[in-house]
Amino acid sequence: MPVATSQDIAIVTVGVVLAAAYLFRDQIFRSSSPKVVVPAPSKLANGHGNPRNFVSKMKEGKKRIVIFYGSQTGTAEEYAIRIAKEAKTKFGLTSLVCDPEEYDFENLDQVPEDCCVFFVMATYGEGEPTDNAVQLMQNLEDESFEFSNGSHRLDGLKYVVFALGNKTYEHYNAIGRKVDTLLTDMGATKIGERGEGDDDKSMEEDYLEWKDGMWKAFSEAMGVEEGQGGDTPDFAVTELDSHPPEKVYLGELSARALTRTKGIYDGKNPYPSAVKHSRELFQAGAERNCVHAELDIEGSGITYQHGDHVGVWPSNPDVEVDRMLYVLGLYGKKDAVINIDSLDPALAKVPFPVPTTYATVLRHYIDICAVAGRQMLGVLSKFAPHPKAEAFLKSLNSDKEEYSNIVTNGCFKLGEVLQLAAGDDIKLCPTPDNTTAWAIPFDIIVSSIPRLQPRFYSISSSPKLYPNAIHLTAVVLKYDSIPNRLVESRFVYGVATNFLLNVKYAANGETAPFIAEPVISEPAHVSLPKYAIEGPRGAHIEDNIYKIPIHVRRSTFRLPANPKIPVIMVGPGTGVAPFRGFVQERVALAKRSIEKNGPDALADWGSITLFYGCRKSNEDFLYKEEWPQYAEELKGKFKMHCAFSREPPYKPDGSKIYVQDLIWEERETIAKAILEGKAYVYICGDAKAMSRAVEDTLARILGEAKGGNAEVEGAAEMKILKERSRLLLDVWS
Give the residue, 170 or 474, on which the prediction is more confident.
Answer: 474
Residue 16 confidence (pLDDT) above 90: no
**Predicted local distance difference test score (pLDDT) of residue 514:** 58
The whole-angstrom separation of Cα 156 and Cα 627 is 61
Residue 4 confidence (pLDDT) above 50: no
Neighbour-count burial for 512-542, b at 16+ CB within 10 Å, e otherwise: beeeeeeeeeeeeeeebbebbbebbeebbbe
Residue 723 belongs to what H/E stretch?
Answer: helix 715-723
Give the model confidence (pLDDT) of 470-479 as tens digits: 999 999 999 9
**Predicted local distance difference test score (pLDDT) of residue 229:** 65
The whole-angstrom separation of Cα 526 and Cα 309 is 33
Q: Is 475 helix (H, G, I), strand (E, B) or coil?
A: strand
Residue 605 belongs to what H/E stretch?
Answer: none
505 is in an annotated binding site: no
The whole-angstrom separation of Cα 256 and Cα 258 is 5
CATH superfamily of domain region 260-313+454-555 = Translation factors (2.40.30.10)
Give the model confidence (pLDDT) of 637-656 as tens digits: 999 999 999 999 999 999 99
Q: Please, which pLDDT band fits residue 30 given cuts at 50, 70 and 90?
A: very low
> For the chain, first and last CA: distance in Å?
86
Q: Please, which pLDDT band fits residue 48 given cuts at 50, 70 and 90?
A: low
Give the model confidence (pLDDT) of 697-720 as tens digits: 999 999 999 999 999 999 999 999
Taking residues 149-168, report their average pLDDT: 95
Task: Describe the crossing of helices 75-91 and 203-222 by its angle, rounded to 10 degrees.
Answer: 40
Scanning 223-317, the segments in alpha helix (DSSP H) are 255-259
**Mean pLDDT of the chain, nearest integer:** 90
Domain 315-453's class? mainly alpha
Per-residue CA distances from 322 to 287, 331, 432 (Å)? 28, 7, 10
**Predicted local distance difference test score (pLDDT) of residue 47:** 44
Task: Describe the crossing of helices 667-675 and 692-705 by its angle, rounded to 10 degrees.
Answer: 80
Taking residues 192-206, report their average pLDDT: 92
Residue 25 confidence (pLDDT) above 60: no
Share of the chain above pLDDT 90, in %: 81
Domain boundaries 567-731, corresponding CATH code: 3.40.50.80
Q: Please, which pLDDT band fits residue 457 given cuts at 50, 70 and 90?
A: very high
Pairing of strands 235-239, 356-357: unpaired
Residue 596 confidence (pLDDT) above 80: yes
73 is in an annotated binding site: yes
Helix/strand/coil (H, E, C) string of 291-316? EEEEEECCCCCCCCCCCCEEEECCCC
455 is in an annotated binding site: yes
**Predicted local distance difference test score (pLDDT) of residue 34:** 35
249 is in an annotated binding site: no
Beta-bridged to residue 275, according to DSSP, are 295
The whole-angstrom separation of Cα 403 and Cα 396 is 5
CATH 2.40.110.10 fits 54-222, yes or no: no
657 is in an annotated binding site: yes
**Predicted local distance difference test score (pLDDT) of residue 24:** 44
Taking residues 363-380, report their average pLDDT: 95
Cis peptide before 353 (omega within 30 of 0): no
The whole-angstrom separation of Cα 471 and Cα 473 is 7
Taking residues 67-87, report their average pLDDT: 92
* Amino acid in position 394: K
Taking residues 149-159, report their average pLDDT: 96
Give the model confidence (pLDDT) of 212-269 as tens digits: 999 999 999 999 998 766 677 889 999 999 899 999 999 999 999 999 998 899 999 9
Residue 520 confidence (pLDDT) above 70: no
The whole-angstrom separation of Cα 158 and Cα 190 is 6
Whether 567-731 and 54-222 are alike in CATH topology: the answer is: yes
61 is in an annotated binding site: no
**Catalytic annotation, residues:** 458, 684, 730, 732
655 is in an annotated binding site: no
- Quote the pTM value: 0.84
475 is in an annotated binding site: yes
Give the model confidence (pLDDT) of 336-346 as tens digits: 999 999 988 87
125 is in an annotated binding site: yes
Q: Please, which pLDDT band fits residue 31 given cuts at 50, 70 and 90?
A: very low
Pairing of strands 189-190, 337-342: unpaired
Share of the chain above pLDDT 70, in %: 91
- The domain limits of the chain are 54-222, 260-313+454-555, 315-453, 567-731
CB 117 within 8 A of CB 66: yes
The whole-angstrom separation of Cα 313 and Cα 297 is 16
**Predicted local distance difference test score (pLDDT) of residue 340:** 97
